[in-house]
Structures are given as structure tokens and as C-alpha cells.
Chains A and B, each alone.
Chain A
Amino acid sequence: MAEDKFSTIIVGAGPAGSTSAYILAKEGLDVLLIERGTAPGSKNMFGGRMYSHALNRIIPNFWEEAPVERPVVREIITFLNGGKSVSLNCQDVSWAQPPYHSFTLLRAEFDAWLASKAEEAGAILAANIRVDELLMENGKVVGIRAGEDEMLADVVIAADGVNSILAQQAGLSKLFSARQVATGVKEIIEVPEETISRRFQVEGNHGAVQLFVGECTKGLQGGGFLYTNKNSVSLGLVISTAALARCRIKMSEALEEFKESPHIAPLIEGGKVVEYSAHLVPEAGLGMTPQLFGDGIVVAGDAAGFVLNLGYIVRGMDFAIASGAAAARTVIEADARKDFSRQRLSQYRDFLKESFVLRDLEAYRAAPQFMENERLFNEYPKLATELVSRLFTVDGTPPVHVLAKVLEQIKKQGISVFRLAMDSWKGAKNL
């Protein structure tokens, strides 16, 4: 029995779990990192980009060894409406200089690498194991059960992803509602390396990210995304799960339709689809954060709902990594005092605030609610595209000045100017 007792059991070898394991193992603690997939990363998918700052604090210059795809230098936001589109296109080549602002990457390879760092540091990685439940004793988490096996630990870190069964079992969270999550689907489409660089107008190994708003989601809350990897693009859609259930849309069909649109087809022409994946995205921010700690347990990463979607920025991995680090710090402090009570572990909240995780989620607290406004995905992309397309049209009709064009289009679409002003104000304030 004694040999089966660990200092820390971490459930889930994603970015949160592996970061925790890496830090704790380096500190000399006995760490068991459990992964249900055949290898870390094999169950994980995301859009396609990680902001570097969080991991760079833990593994400085990680890009020298980590399997990353392209440093992103070009950010494009595109509003779609039928055959029309309007884009905001920003390039900053300094993002491709150390400390590289962000990287596109593929999770199967990247997560496996991060878990291997934890192993190198001394953590024991056990793959192919599904944790069935937490072991409880007098209301305190004392370990886990996986099939016939029971394993004990001073503390369990639940880094088991968005569907966190463990946080729910520990009574720290309830099953979220369809309004609080979004369903994402993605295809990996192989396109030759130089073709990608040419099509996205980037030099060498530089990368581009394009986010789409409007018709690609049938005007529903959500958006499209395209991330350039070395020799593939990650193309997908994310739609509010509640909207999906209400509007009877099939994501795979919506994605196939999106691929055929004139805004996407030329970008992936000649490409070969090699994988289709789906995942839930916790989107409600602090509105769905569970209790982050209990007696003998701490919750990190997606399991804690640590994702921020501002429409033009989507963050998850940097929060996962920083929350994994904060969980590890909490356990180190608790271990020094051999006190794993809820009260002691409450330090986790302080560490999350000190890092940027809770600070940023609190700053953008109102964003998830703002993003529920369907005008953002329907009327406004239409307004932008119609207007800008008219601006560029010369067809012999009498001249109309810009202001008149704007007012005409607003009137034509039956948009309330007051509402538009309010939405703009709220957006500028909350995003």
C-alpha cells in the first residue's frame, strides 16, 4: 500500500497537468501523471495557437526544443456575407523574434513533448488509464480509482479537461449548460509549406491566423478559424452549443460548406484533409468557474473553465499552463506544511491572481455575456461587408458620400442606430 501512495496524482496530461507535473517533479515530489489516451495529446485538440508568455516563464526559450509549427506574424479578422468579405489584416514581424509572441502547433505532438519534460524531471507518466473516480475519506480527496486499481496521494490535481468528471464528482462543479460552452470542429488539411507561405503572404516559416465572423456560422454565436501550420492548415468552426441545439445545424456540414466558400476555397485548394476532430470549449469565463479547490484537490486548465474568447483573441493554453503552475506552487506550499486542507489549498486562488489567470478573466468578466449578442454574428458582419463593398464600387450611379452610404445601409438593414451605438460602446468597454 505504502508504495502506492504519491505526493501528488495529476489526472490529465494536457498542458495544465503536465506543467504541474513538471514543476512538482523538479521540486522532488513523487508525482503520478495519469493520461487516458494512448499517449499525452492523443485526446486533445484546439484551434491552433498558443501564446508563448506562460510557457516561456516555466521553460525559458521552449521554442528551441518544443515541436511548434509557425510563429504567428499575421492576424486577420474577416467579416463574411455571401460572396463579400471585409478583413482587418495586421502584420508585425517582431512577433517572429524571441520571445516569439505566439505559435501555431498541433496538440498530439506538443502535449506529448510537454509530458516528456515532466517525465524527464522525474514524474511518472501512466498512459492508457481512465480514472473512474476520486477516493474520498471523511469528505476529503485521498486518491483515485482506475478500474481495479486504487492509488493514494496527499493531493489530486484535476486537469481532466472541459468535461471534468472529477471536479463534478468532488462537488466542486455542476454539469455546465449548453449556453456556457461551444462546440468546435476542425479539419487538418495538408498543403505544401511554400504554398502556405505564399497564400498567406508570410516569409519563410512565419505563420498567419485568420478568424471569421458572420455567415460561416449561419449568423449564430461563434466563428470560423484558420491557423497555418508548417505544412497543413487547421480549419474549423466554433458555434455556441446552445445555438447549435436550437437551430438544428450539423457542424460537419457547416464546415464543408465553409470550405467551399470563395473566402476559403482558394486558401486550401489542392489540399488534402487528413483529420477531423471535435471538442467543447468552455466559454462562460468566470460564469462557469468551479470551486477551484477542496480538501485534497485542486482544479486546473479547461476543467476550471480557464478560457477567454474576445472574438479577436482566443486564449486557453496559456491559462492552462499558468494554472497548472499555480496548482503546483500551491501543492509545494501545502507539502512543506503537510497540510492539504481546503484552507491551505485556498492559496491557489492567490497564485492564480498573482499570475495573470484570474486577473485577466476578471478584467474581461463581462465579455462572455457581450458575446451572446447575435447581432455581432449576423447584422454587423453584413453591415460591414455591404458598406465597404459599396465604398469600392464604381458603376455609374450617382455619387453618395460616405456618411450617407452608412446611413442608407443602416436603414436598409433596419438596424437601430441607438442599438448600434450601445453595442459599440459595450464592445469597446468589455473586450
Chain B
Amino acid sequence: MKRLNIEQLLGLDKFAVDDDEAHIIVDKAICSRCEPKPCTFACPAGLYTVKDGEVSFDYAGCLECGTCRVVCPHAGIAIRWKYPRGGFGISFRWG
């Protein structure tokens, strides 16, 4: 079976993206000082990426698992974590 990259995997899923509200907000100032940046590889959707030393996050493909929230060394400060508003976000068709 052909290997799928994360974009292809997420492309299979059904999302209703909330254009008006990001449910996860990262504090780039804190994140730029964070040495290990565990979110950048622990997120199963690969949504945390580093560009020019700055962490950027794309909430659109979020699987809403909560891994980033718990691996963050600055838990509760650097990542403001909520679920998407009702009806938005991932909709598993099988689950």
C-alpha cells in the first residue's frame, strides 16, 4: 500500500473549519523561547511547524485530541486550548 503523508491523511477527513474563531491560540513569544518544542512532532496531525525559529500553528486540520496541550512545557500558558465551537472542527465519519 502506498505511503501517505500527513497532508494526504488529513485530506481524507471531514472538517468544518470555523473561519471566525481559532480554537487553539499559541503565544509565539513564549514558543520562540521554548527549546524542545515538543508540539512540533507530537501533534498527530503535524500542525505545529517551525518557520524561522517561530512556531506556527494551523488549527484547520486539528483532530482535537489534546496532545499538544499536555506535551507543552508551558502548559496552559503558551497554548490556549479549547474545543472548536459547536458544529465546527473534525467530524469522524467512522471513528
Contact = CB atoms under 8 A, between A and B. Distances in A.
A163 B95 contact: no
Given A130-B84, A260-B1, A276 B41 contact: no
B67 A241 contact: yes
A129 B86 contact: yes
A178 B83 contact: no
B4 A273 contact: yes
A277 B84 CA distance: 16
A114 to B, nearest CB: 13
B9 interface: yes
Interface string A220-246: 000000000000101000000110110
B67 A274 contact: no
Interface in A119-147: 127-130, 146-147
Interface string B45-88: 11000000000000000011111011100011000001111110
B38 A43 contact: no
B94 A188 contact: yes
B70 A241 contact: yes
B12 A276 contact: yes
A269 interface: yes
A242 B92 CA distance: 26
A21 B75 CA distance: 34
A185 B46 CA distance: 12
B65 A187 contact: no
A165 B23 CA distance: 14
Interface string A275-316: 111111000000000000000000000000000000000000
Q: For A106, A108, A234, A279, which residue has the most chain B Cβ atoms within 10 angstroms?
A: A279
Contacts of B89: 43
A427 interface: no
Contact of A183 (B1, B16, B42, B92): B42
Contacts of B30: none
A130 B71 CA distance: 24
B3 interface: yes
B22 interface: no
B6 A252 contact: yes
A206 interface: no
A34 to B, nearest CB: 9
Interface residues of B, number: 40
B13 interface: yes
Given A45-B92, A108-B93, A277-B63, A36 B13 contact: no
B65 A275 contact: no
Contacts of A242: 71
B90 interface: yes
Contact of B12 (A41, A260, A275): A275
B10 interface: yes
B32 interface: no
Contacts of B85: 130, 147
Contact of A36 (B3, B41, B76, B83): B83
B12 A274 contact: yes
A248 interface: yes
A42 interface: yes
Q: For B6, B65, B83, B91, which residue has the most chain A Cβ atoms within 10 angstroms?
A: B65
A1 interface: no
Contacts of B4: 256, 273
A430 interface: no
Contacts of A268: 1
B92 A278 contact: no
A183 B36 CA distance: 19
9 contacts: A36-B83, A42-B95, A130-B84, A241-B70, A245-B71, A268-B1, A276-B63, A277-B92, A280-B66
Interface of B: 1, 3-6, 9-10, 12-13, 16, 36, 38, 41-42, 44-46, 63-67, 69-71, 75-76, 82-87, 89-95
| 7 interchain residue pairs of minimum CB distance | A107-B95, A128-B87, A278-B44, A276-B9, A245-B38, A245-B71, A278-B63
Given A163-B83, A275-B13, 5 more contacts: A163-B66, A175-B75, A275-B92, A275-B93, A280-B65
